[in-house]
Structure 1
Amino acid sequence: MKVLVADDDPQLVRALRITLAAHGYDVVAAPDGAAAIALAAQTHPDIVLLDLGMPRLDGVAVIEALRGWTAVPIIVVSGRTGSADKVEALDAGADDYVTKPFQIDELLARLRALSRRAGATGGEPLVSFGDIAIDLSTKSVTRAGARVHLTPTEWRMLEFLARNPGALVTRQTLLKDIWGTDQVSDTGYLRLYMSQLRKKLEADPARPAHLLTESGMGYRLVLDP
């Protein structure tokens, strides 16, 4: 798999290039936002690792530019720890957010999770609630007949809930399913993704009727509240 690393820290880029290559990844690197966009168009990477604070276009601008023509999975790798920065990146179209400094095992787990795209596509059910239709066969979602764009991570979360309608899905179960390991701790990522899903799918995101939080436990998809 080809990974585009976009970061203006040459030491981090060198470390990632060596580590990812040792795990079988083909790495290309860009030192700034403009170069990242150009290199993505030229090399068509399978995954993008993107810093937010780069010269010549910041990370959010790069995400918005990439989302104009590609659905390539994007993992933000940033030293910015504020919730507002994470929400802005996810709103722009990022699929995941890793805070520096990070454990390489966690980053590799998230790369593996986002690289899983194969799966059965035939005979899957259609799950619906309100004006939302979730087609598990085509991995698509519509709202009142209009296509809803979900990031790959948002889709994984919704898909797991849709395959278990009415059931409580624990946070740890979702973390293991989405990121492929039970060693990833929930530091607010699930809450952010659920907030994004509610904005896209709930009639009133502030008072959700279908995508419910079970305090201290996890989440539940209710088809007919």
Structure 2
Amino acid sequence: MFLTLDIKEAGYSIDEPVLKDIQFSVGPGELVGLIGPNGAGKSTTIKSILGVVNQVRGDIQVNEYAYIPERPIFYDGLTLWEHIDFLLSTLQTDEDSFTQRAKRLLDLFQLSRVTHDFPESFSKGMQQKVMLILALLKKPDLHIIDEPFMGLDPRAIKDLLQMIDNEKERGAGILMSTHALDTAEKICDRFLLISKGRLVAQGTLGDLRRESGLNQGSLLDCFDVLTMGEPNVR
């Protein structure tokens, strides 16, 4: 497994845990959807994996990963290509093949014309594409992706879905937090349903249908039944 998580409690202060009893794993070649409404605990779960939550009681084992945040983050004063060049300096890889892959991805996401511009000046969608390119270039064991479809145009979403398929075929694991339940239902291998800071259900869509009693229910239908009456946390 590329990620194994067993959180007893986690939060931002010792007196107010946000998460309780969260256990799941992500293995090679699978896409796992982290599903929940705003304030359900998805972000705290991801931050716990990243090691930025102050109080975590439990055990988290994670391999090398690339993190794609909902709000892109860049280094001030570095152009797009300088971000790529900096990433290269942190990796043990062949420079020529890395550069060729970078150019192919820039062409794919239609960013070749702005390689010498500063990403902080880009639109939200363009910034999201840059984060995706950097993550794909790293070739990690695990991708942790937070709301990847926000700000992307339909063509970019199609390209992203193809890249996700390619990464799965390469053997990478993917943990993806998203509100786009229609898309998640089509592409995810398994789902983690979080509400009120707890993992209320996990498994394939078939598993969720059996647990909710909705034999032909959509992911949204199953989520509504399984989390009915559950207030949110932050």
Both proteins in one fold, TM over 0.5? no
The TM-score, its normalising length taken from structure 1, stands at: 0.33
Answer 1 or 2: higher relative contact order, Cα 8 Å, separation at least 6.
2
TM-score normalised to structure 2 length: 0.32
